Amino acid sequence: MSGVQSHSGPSVDLAIFALHLSGISSLLGAINLTFIGVITTILNMRAPGISLHKLALFGWAVVVTAVLLLLSLPVLAGAITMVLTDRNFNTSFFEAAGGGDPILYQHLFSRLVFEDYFINGFFGHPECYILIIPGFGIISTVISASSNKSVFGYLGMCYAMMSIGVLGFVVWRISVNILHHMYTVGLDVDKRAYFTAATLIIAVPTGIKIFSWLATCYGGSLQLTPSMLFALGFVFMFTIGGGVVLANASLDIAFHDTAFIVLHFHYVLSMGAVFALYSAWYFWIPKILGLDYNKVLGKAHFWILFIGVKQHFLGLQGMPRRISDYPDAFAGWNLISSFGSIISVVATGLFLYIVYVQLVEGKSTTRYPWLTPQFYSDSLQTLLNRSYNSLEWALTSPPKPHAFVSLPLQS
């Protein structure tokens, strides 16, 4: 990629330029989010009674995401600029023939965006958490509200998100990058043993979040709404996604560059983020539009998509990835996987139909549509004083411009 021999022409240069533009956009957005969203809004404009320890977990997730974006994007810009100068200005950062180090490319930049949808390495490990930490905040909010109880271990959840953000930088090279790409580049046994242990560190705060979500559900008055189903689906897929398995160097050597890696990232990150977004949509869209949606169709959407995205057996059988053809022994599971993609497309079509029906035939909803029958007698103020609800539910659906005439007081 850094030379013109195998990738001649302007296509790669234009792609790098596009990444520069995208990076500038994301960096400006991160600066805006950090200084306006975090410093101005969260630190200085909280309603009376809402301390930082009462802040919604989604707010904490936005804070961590903004900081990660602000610190990681310059690394991306530097890495792709080095590739650009290697291609056009005779530098040798990554060219072995000129004294460069191709492994440096892998450290900074090992999984290119055209190949696997995001960039992995010095930039890419924080980027993984930039994509998933907002989902953590969404899932925490939805599970708490749908369980009718506060999040279990609130402070632990906050510190877990912060720890994930810090570890995203501290172990950038020894986690995702080493995990999927660099166990097989000739590291000695001692380094692989160390990297295995260091990689598992990132599982500790993630495990705290998983167990806290399960403990929040335990003993709660569960409402299996579409948003809650997608949240539970997120927890299930995130748990079985295989990241802890791949931390073991011996196993990862066997699974490296097989379909198992593809499935791991689709379970944990790609579809994990999608399930979190769907959960957020079904949870907040009645508040945004003031219109209710068909709950039965929403649940059908979840089950169809949940069935359609499941695939692990090809990787367990050792099928290599990035191949145009495969042995007949893999034909059965590939056929099932193809049917799964069709099922996922059907689920997406059903989602668009749900949105259409909501806009055309949706009934007006209440301020807080997630009340269970045993809580009907609760006043709105009582609901808002519970720490699992945030102030948007005190507004009409949809909220009016300049809805708060005075600062609301929350105890």
Q: How many CB atoms lie within 10 A of CB 104?
A: 16
Q: What is the spatial distance between Cα 409 and Cα 411, in angstroms, rounded to a whole number?
A: 7
Q: Among 50-59, 163-172, 195-204, 374-383, whose mean pLDDT is lowest?
A: 374-383
Highest mean pLDDT among 81-85, 163-167, 216-220: 216-220
Mean pLDDT value of segment 359-367: 88
pLDDT at 175: 45
| 359: pLDDT strictly greater than 90 | yes
More confident residue, 82 or 275: 275
Residue 119 has pLDDT above 50, yes or no: no
Region for 398 from its dihedrals, namely left if φ exceeds 0, alpha if ψ lies in -120 to 50, beta otherwise: beta
- Of the given ranges (142-151, 184-193, 340-349), which has the lowest mean pLDDT? 184-193
52's enclosing H/E stretch is none
Higher pLDDT, 272 or 176: 272
Angle formed by the axes of helices 226-240 and 203-217, nearest 10°: 140
Q: Say if residue 101's pLDDT is above 80.
A: no
Confidence of residue 357 (pLDDT cuts 50, 70, 90): very high
Window from 10-14, 77-81, 121-125, 390-394 with minimum mean pLDDT: 121-125
φ/ψ (deg, to 5) at 327:
-60, 155
Task: Give the C-alpha separation, 86 to 101, whole Å.
Answer: 12
Q: Is the pLDDT of residue 117 over 60?
A: no
Contact indicator for 266, 300 with CB cutoff of 8 Å: no
Q: What is the pLDDT of residue 408?
A: 73
CA-wise closest residue to 101 among 172, 186, 161: 186
Residues 249 and 196 sit within 8 Å (Cβ to Cβ): yes
> Quick check: 19 pLDDT over 70?
yes
For position 174, what pLDDT does the model report? Answer: 45
Q: Average pLDDT of 211-231?
A: 92
Averaged pLDDT for residues 1-11: 69
Mean pLDDT calculated for residue range 341-365: 93
% residues pLDDT > 90 (the chain):
23
Any idea which residue has 């005190």 for tokens? 394
Please check the confidence at residue 315 and state whether its pLDDT lies above 90. no
Quick one: residue 405, left, alpha or beta (phi over 0 = left, psi -120 to 50 = alpha)?
A: alpha
With both helix axes pointing from N to C terminus, report the angle between 124-147 and 57-88 in degrees, rounded to the nearest 10: 160
As a CATH number, domain 11-373 is 1.20.210.10
| Lowest-pLDDT range of 50-59, 216-225, 349-358 | 50-59
pLDDT of amino acid 1: 60
Q: What is the pLDDT of residue 244?
A: 79
Mean pLDDT along residues 237-254: 80
Average pLDDT over residues 96-120: 56
Separation CA 394–CA 78 (nearest Å): 46
pLDDT > 70: percent of the chain: 81
